[in-house]
Structure 1
């Protein structure tokens, strides 16, 4: 006897719609922030199903989600839109990963206004890729056939980018960490100005593009954008990496982080860990203030809200994070957002903020829009299960 399939098909359709429709509604109808741009009080947990594609708006943050060593995750390059809700994968950065990067996306820096990202070509690509986060268009800027390039820092004009150059593959996993020739790349023309400083491992361009702070084999130095007027920075900064937004908005201060080894007593026994210290240097006076971050073992200094307030990402043991405002004079901190690592224990790394938007952030509870791929997959699973159950029941009744 032919078994009735109509009830099973109806049940499957109802299950699919029940699961996938809410995801589609969130994707299409996320309300605008009360004021723009917004940053969420909780950054979305790692998901396998974040959609690829453009945001349709500038980004307020780009980052790597998952470092490749946690449970069941694959590293992703993610952009968070200025609505504080929309998350999209930056596939171009994932495709430009080098074999040595252990699955990490290629290095990238976010423009000050959040409209585009500059993506490395660290495996002899001979160019950097400029990806519009608004409409997803790409533009390649050549730097020489067969050369490798990693972007380090971008000026507020959106045209001048500090880069490291090399004739071989560049990866943060090499030992010692990669270094190269420091250069200034003009995106509009492709002009490349190479500097004479040697053994550069990190560098930051001041927001107005006039000065450069660089960590070299000889210590930390500062120079003007033409490569002249080179002088040493305070000795406390030697060996500490400069993030791409190390300069304060007014160009009067530089900040970096030190992580000093310490022994701590834990329930599992005595453990060697680290204690994070924020270093804030007055470049005119040549003085550096050390601010111990109580209870913080590891952190990343992401940028500045204003000339007196630093944006910090503090990590917990389970790879979750807390985003904090830090007073650059006293070290006092205030949490404004969190990130939960979830069951995969995926962490957020290499976060870069749209520098010119931070002072305008509204910190709000925001719905999560990661695209509705997850809703479709969930709908198929639930709908299929519901249909199978109904089919089995009707089969028994009709036997």
Structure 2
């Protein structure tokens, strides 16, 4: 069998998935959390014949190397056997590839140096991704390792789309430009939408709305990213669980001068104390919707701000694309929130976008249409699968 091990390494977590690629099925997946803390959490799930059995344990996990030993122990104790399902490649999610990486790349010492050099653009992510790569290479020294970059899909942006209107020399020296993120998800979902609609990918104009705790929109023209809402960092764009999204940059200057906030405080404000949390005190969309429907004014306003920004980007990307064939919702909120999907596109009937309330409210899972039969624009829900996309790309380069 052609098994691929996919690794998503965070600063204090290790998420993994073992896939059998001939049938593109998940053999096992797991999550190791609280790495480096006194009490670590381990979850390992084994899939067989449509059923999944989950094993949990709590034990200290000192670092990422220890996390890989814990992972291997979980495979040995609970299966499936790595000896019987040896990975032919290990695929790694890396958040920031800058301008240097625009396709899946076999990891070499030079690649690792470059990932580290790009850490100033993603200080919370790239160092953790690199720790995972280094630990994985020790655990699987005879297997090729491939880095798949969140930013790579957006390497097709035109200069007019990725350039910020600031001093050009200063921007070039400090690598300031739009990079975009969630590229692995946007690529997978836009291709899955074309397959679902049985339309040639090269002919399709699609807007993908990846709505989770982090959220981004992407205008995809013929399978290529043409515009995206996240920028130099994942902070720009849509309203998110704890992030502000778009903001007048003068707000930061004003808060520094008037409220005395320093750089670290402003960073914390925009990344951890803004978005839905900042407006309503709730970061989970389910809680926000429930509170709004119960008459909570702060939650209602938070939801309206969220939807207004979302609709703003949909309209903008229809203009950027010169029309749209499909709008696709994905990720946690996009796949599960009936209220967000319905209200985000309400009032756009004159643009050929019509939502069917019954289809939208259906508890069905999997790819599905939620627009009416007479809607000129197909509105879809497509579950994202970043692990499968990483596995596909990793396998493609070896």
Q: Which of 1 and 2 has higher RCO (CA within 8 Å, sep 6+)?
A: 1
Highest CA radius of gyration, 1 or 2? Answer: 1
Structure having the higher helix fraction is 2
- What TM-score does the superposition give when structure 1 sets the normalisation length? 0.30
